[in-house]
Copies of this chain bind each other. A is one copy, B any other.
Amino acid sequence: MSFEKLLRPESVAVVGASTQPGKVGYEILNNVISDGFTGPVYPINPGAAEILGKKCYKSLTDVPGPVDLAVVVIKRGLVIPTLKEMGEKGTKAAIVITAGFGETGEEGKKLQAEMIEVVKKYGITMVGPNCLGLLNPWHKLNASFGGTAGVPGGIALISQSGALLTSVQDIAAQEKLGWSVLASIGNKATLDEVNFLEGLKNDKNTKVIAAYLENITHGRDFIREAETVSKEKPIVILKAGRTSSGAKAASSHTGSLAGADSAYMAAFDRVGVIRADSIEQLFDISMAFSYMPLPAGDRVAVVTNAGGPGIMMSDALEMLGLKVAALDKATEDKLLATLPAAGSAHNPVDVLGDATSDMYGKAMDIIIESPSVDSMIVVLTPQKMTDEDNVALKIVELSKKYNKPIFACFMGAGSIVKGVGILRDNKIPQYGVPERAAKAMLEMVKYSNYRKRAARVIKTFDVDKKKVAGIIAQYRADGMNEIGEVDAKEIMRAYKFNVPGGKLASTAKEAGQFTDELGYPVVMKISSPDILHKSDSGGVKVGLANRAEVENAFEKMMVTVKERVPGADIKGVLLEKMIGSKDDREVIVGMNKDPQFGPMIMFGLGGIFVEVLKDVCFGLAPLTEEEAMKMIQSTKAYKLLTGARGSKPNDIGAIVENLQRISQLVTDFEEIAEIDINPLKVGAEGAGATLLDARIILTK
């Protein structure tokens, strides 16, 4: 497979190698050679005989042996001919550094489209264009114009910003953080984050896949691939451009639209992708996964030689929802027998300011062994008696002895350089402040829980798909894409929503006859393909108690609606019997389509929760029962539905089922662009939910 040639080529050509230091074409060649690539390296430059001691070739074709990977740094106009040449020669992997394609004007976009054609034709795996390159320290490959490859390690980092990699490499070098792959993915003309997920899924060196992304191009593919990968290894993503200013900056930077942040949230959550909020977190979290086993649970023990930082750590853990582990009596007794009198055997365990490394070691061993502890964070401040080097060595020793994550939080700078060095050399995650350690631990716990989730099961309900197909076909035939209440209810009925029986009446008299049959009270709603917002047009009247009221309401409604929406095509009024009890709650459910990730199912409690508090949540279709339940639970309104304030609990199960039915409907019919069910009236537990109004919009 040619992705393999990209990561582990046996030979590399630099097309556009330069003789001038400082030029990109020189620096890349220099990086390839000086970082120790072991296979043949071919500079391609028609005007030079030799660069950096390597024989130059006029073209790829001239190279005598096979070339696995070509790094392309020639001027824009020659890139496509080079790719063709690669195709002919059988070179299957390319890194195109050259810029001036999709990220620039019309001409660049056209060239990029052509480039994609060529690459597809020859089956070339291409990174870029407009990128910094790719590094694989395990293979001694530095095909980039960034810094040196650094040490081999477990983190694969994919970055949509090339410049960011220069900072990342610099920081990683200091922190001795090791990489399995570092890739700048540029314009992502062909290879994007999805391909890297796929390519790195089985890469034995890669323990965690980290990414800086400004957008995700193929949302559905990403979901599919990330779901598979995150069962095996964690994916940590810093998605920039989440605010409107950030999104604006991103679109001017990459020329691509970022999409709604809520969709990214829903997508990441769905497939267990860990979201980093900053580059610092991307490092902190990736380091934890790369160095430590997963914790079995959320009970964190803290050992410290300073009270203040112990309190800070407790605050940080609790604020994130982790547990400051309650130690079992046996453990506390052992600690009491070990610690000095003024120490604390309660978590956070305080070994006191004058603790020797021996005292630290004994306490840590007792703690990490405890069955009431899932992980441990060792806090250290550099006091006069503190022997940070030997504390670090003890931590290393314990990390080998126990299969539980241990983090260090050595707080300081110059005084602890050596101790921190020992931690880094021995792959102990070290965080300078409590909050960073706590956050990394949180993400380990969350991912560990994700991995334990039951397999996803998408329920399939018995529905009348054919009927829906018929209605949609009719709308298509009529050239209409807005489906109003009457037909929308037919569709929802076909998917076995509980929709009250209603009747369409076109005269006041007819209305009165129908409601006498239905029983009172009734609700009357205007029916017109031209009116989607019925209330605003005076087209809804509730609580009509008898025939006289109904007939009277009909006449008034006709007048009002015609005034407010002149020329509307009015089919009549829809009459329904009003149902419900005081324990009912009205919720809003629906779907709209995200350009990247497709159908997003929406849930929110009606009224102020949606309109004032913006308390809504989204889930990607198709939904499982558990996911539908989690959506509801993630809202603030959830407490109300479970019966807060003395009211009866509502039928949450009915909402869960209806969310799944919407999910099935939109999965069955891709032509549905939007569904708005407002309200769905939810009765008390066991009483089900009734759809009172709905509208559907088809794609154009």
Contact = CB atoms under 8 A, between A and B. Distances in A.
Interface stretch (A90-98, A315-323, A546-554): A315-323
Nearest to A308: B161
A161 B306 CA distance: 8
A163 B212 contact: no
A530 interface: no
Contacts of A164: 306, 308-309, 381, 411
Nearest to A277: B435
Nearest to A251: B311
A279 interface: yes
A412 interface: yes
A173 interface: yes
A243 B645 contact: no
Secondary structure class of chain A's binding surface, majority of residues: helix
Contacts of A480: none
A248 B302 CA distance: 14
B381 A163 contact: yes
A170 B413 CA distance: 5
A310, A342, A639 pick with most chain B CB within 10 angstroms: A310
Contacts of A243: 314-315, 318-319
Contacts of A278: 312, 316, 433-435
Interface stretch (A81-89, A368-376, A608-616, A692-700): A608-616
Given A171-B413, A277-B435, A163 B353 contact: yes
A400 B305 CA distance: 43
Nearest to A319: B243
B315 A246 contact: yes
Contacts of A644: 608, 611-612
A400 B311 CA distance: 41
A346 interface: yes
A411 B315 CA distance: 29
A162 interface: yes
A253 B608 CA distance: 24
Contact of A315 (B245, B317, B607, B613): B245
Nearest to A159: B308
A384 interface: yes
A59 B174 CA distance: 52
A576 interface: no
A412 B314 contact: no
A482 interface: no
A308 B212 contact: yes
B249 A314 contact: yes
B307 A254 contact: yes
Contacts of A280: 432-433, 435
Nearest to A324: B245
Interface in A415-432: 415-416, 432
A314 B384 contact: no
A104, A174, A314 pick with most chain B CB within 10 angstroms: A314
B381 A166 contact: yes
Contacts of A125: none
Contact of A244 (B314, B344, B353, B433): B314
Interface string A349-377: 01001000000000000000000000000
Contacts of A175: 413
Interface in A590-613: 607-608, 611-613
Contact of A310 (B249, B324, B636): B249
A173 B350 CA distance: 26
5 contacts: A161-B311, A240-B311, A240-B315, A242-B315, A249-B307
Given A161-B309, A173-B413, 10 more contacts: A27-B384, A163-B309, A171-B413, A243-B318, A248-B314, A249-B348, A254-B307, A278-B434, A612-B636, A612-B645
User: Top 3 A-B pairs ranked by shortest CB distance?
Assistant: A161-B308, A163-B306, A246-B315
